[in-house]
Amino acid sequence: MNLKVQMNHSWVKQWGVSWVLAAVAAVLGLGLDAAQAATPTPAQAAACPAILNHTFDRLQDEKPQSLCQYAGKVVLVVNTASFCGFTSQYKGLEALNTSYKDQGLVVLGFPSNDFAQEKGSNKDIADFCESTFGVKFPMFTKTQVTGDGAAPLFKQLTAQTGQKPRWNFHKYLIGRDGKVIDQYSSMTGPESKTLLSAIDKALKAKP
């Protein structure tokens, strides 16, 4: 279905773009979040820091999602794997996301087979994360995080911190202003005082 909305129509101006987008989303059987997430609005694009100016496919349905939707939040980027000694960190990451999301934190998970411990399909990974750890934080399809073929996001994170992911569950903390605050090895768990302190400080900072 091809729907075009003329933004200069008086009824669009009266009701607002968000209302119209919601109506279109309803017709298409989508939620408003889904309609907005794939393509950032002009305002979102203008405010989107370079580190978040990327699009990844969502793990559950492989639909494209712009990371610009997380602009202004504190973002914890984690490369994950289902068959790793650190896989249990999923539980702590979900708890972290749940506890701090209302304050502006979002955990983003990027499954990766770079260390040969994530060989399943995207559906396999999604089912495992949901059924085993109840993961609700945003996750994306399998992503290369090291080497020449690494996703641009991870190339930027590596360049800005001087440290590529050394193993699964490496973490990068991004502030509200879109600047990378620090990186943490797999040994730094979600409950680590060092990580929690950095998150608290980042949440209190102005974008």
pLDDT digits (tens, 9 = 90+) for 155-201: 999 999 999 999 999 999 999 999 999 999 999 999 999 999 999 99
Give mean pLDDT, residues 20-25.
44
**45 shares a domain with 12:** no
Residue 69 carries which DSSP code?
Answer: G
Does the structure show a pLDDT above 50 at 9? Answer: no
> Strand, helix or coil at 158?
helix
Distance, in Å, from the CA atom of 135 to the CA atom of 138, rounded to the nearest integer, reads 8
Same domain, 88 and 155: yes
Please indicate, yes or no, whether residues 25 and 53 belong to a single structural domain of this protein.
no
- Give the single-character DSSP code of 188: S
User: What's the confidence (pLDDT) of residue 206?
Assistant: 77
Q: Is the pLDDT of residue 2 over 50?
A: no
Least confident of 39-43, 71-75, 84-88, 93-97: 39-43
Q: In this structure, are 94 and 168 located in the same domain?
A: yes
CATH of the domain at 161: 3.40.30.10
- Whether residues 1 and 74 share a domain: the answer is no
Do 151 and 90 sit in the same domain of this protein?
Answer: yes
Domain of residue 102: give its range.
40-204
How many CB atoms neighbour CB 37 within 10 A?
A: 22
Return the half-sphere exposure (C-beta side, CA atoms, 13 A cut-off) of residue 167.
10
Does 46 or 73 have the greater pLDDT score?
A: 73
Q: What is the mean pLDDT of residues 142-155?
A: 99
* Joined tokens for residue 118: 């994530």
The answer to whether residues 28 and 45 belong to one domain is no
* DSSP reduced 3-state for 75: strand
Q: Please enumerate in sequence order all residues whose Cβ is within 8 A of that of 75, keeping only pairs 6 or more positions apart, or say none.
A: 52, 105, 106, 107, 108, 173, 174
Which distant-in-sequence residues (6+ apart) come within 8 Å of 90 by Cβ?
80, 129, 132, 133, 135
Catalytic residue among 48, 68, 84, 129: 84
Q: Is 84 a catalytic residue?
A: yes
Residues 99 and 46 in one domain: yes
pLDDT band at residue 47 under the 50/70/90 scheme: confident
Domain co-membership, 140 together with 180: yes
User: For the packed helices 89-100 and 193-204, what is the interaxial angle rounded to 10 degrees?
Assistant: 20
Single pTM value for the model: 0.81
What is the per-residue pLDDT across 108-132, written as a single tens digit (0 to 9) for each? 999 999 999 999 999 999 999 999 9
Residue keyed to tokens 């993961």 = 135
Answer for the pair 89, 185: CB distance below 8 angstroms, yes or no.
no
Residue 47 and residue 25 share a domain: no
pLDDT, mean over the chain: 87
- The verdict on 82 and 33 lying in the same domain is no
Q: Are residues 58 and 98 in the same domain?
A: yes
pLDDT in tens, 83-101: 999 999 999 999 999 999 9
Total count of domains within the chain: 2
Beta bridge partners of 65: 56
